[in-house]
Amino acid sequence: MSEPLLAIENLHVGFDIYGGHLKVLDGVNFAVGKGEKVGLVGETGCGKTTTMKSVMRILPMPPAKVRNGEVFYKGKDLLRVNLRKVRGVKGEGISMIFQDPTAALNPVFTIGRQLMDVVKYSKVAGKGQSGDKIRERAISALKDVAMPDPERILSNYPIQLSGGMRQRICIAMALVTGWELLIADEPTTSLDVTIQDQVLRLLGGLVEEKGNSTILITHSLGIVREWTDRVYVMYAGNMVEAAPTKQLFSHPLHPYTQGLMKAVPKLTGEGMAEGVTGRIPNYLTPPPGCRFHPRCPHVMPICEQERPPFYDVGDAHQVACYLYKE
Residues of the shown chain interacting with other proteins in the complex, contacts defined by CB under 8 A? 43-44, 162-165, 192-198, 201, 219-223, 225-227, 249, 259-277, 279
Distance CA 53, CA 217 (A): 12
Nearer to other proteins by Cβ, of 78 and 147: the residue is 147
Distance CA 13, CA 23 (A): 7
Shortest Cβ distance from residue 114 to other proteins (Å)?
A: 21
Distance CA 191, CA 199 (A): 9
Closest CA to 307 of 7, 27, 25: 27
| Distant-in-sequence, close-in-space partners of 102: CB < 8 Å, separation ≥ 6 | 158, 163, 166, 190
Shortest Cβ distance from residue 12 to other proteins (Å)?
A: 24
Residue 235 per-residue DSSP state:
E
Nearer to other proteins by Cβ, of 175 and 223: the residue is 223
Shortest Cβ distance from residue 246 to other proteins (Å)?
A: 10
Shortest Cβ distance from residue 67 to other proteins (Å)?
A: 27
Distance CA 324, CA 107 (A): 51
Nearer to other proteins by Cβ, of 159 and 272: the residue is 272
Nearer to other proteins by Cβ, of 78 and 221: the residue is 221
Nearer to other proteins by Cβ, of 264 and 302: the residue is 264
* Preceding peptide of 265 cis, ω within 30°: no
The one-letter amino acid code at 14 reads G
Nearer to other proteins by Cβ, of 249 and 324: the residue is 249
Burial of 149 per CB tally in 10 Å (0-12, 13-18, 19+): exposed
Shortest Cβ distance from residue 46 to other proteins (Å)?
A: 9
Nearer to other proteins by Cβ, of 141 and 191: the residue is 191
Shortest Cβ distance from residue 268 to other proteins (Å)?
A: 6
Distance CA 325, CA 102 (A): 46
Distance CA 297, CA 319 (A): 16
For residue 290, report the phi and psi dihedrals to the nearest 5 degrees.
-70, 130
Nearer to other proteins by Cβ, of 195 and 206: the residue is 195
Distance CA 20, CA 45 (A): 18
Shortest Cβ distance from residue 52 to other proteins (Å)?
A: 19
For residue 15, report the phi and psi dihedrals to the nearest 5 degrees.
-125, 130
Nearer to other proteins by Cβ, of 71 and 199: the residue is 199
Burial of 117 per CB tally in 10 Å (0-12, 13-18, 19+): middle
| Distant-in-sequence, close-in-space partners of 271: CB < 8 Å, separation ≥ 6 | none
**CB of 171 closer than 8 Å to CB of 196:** no
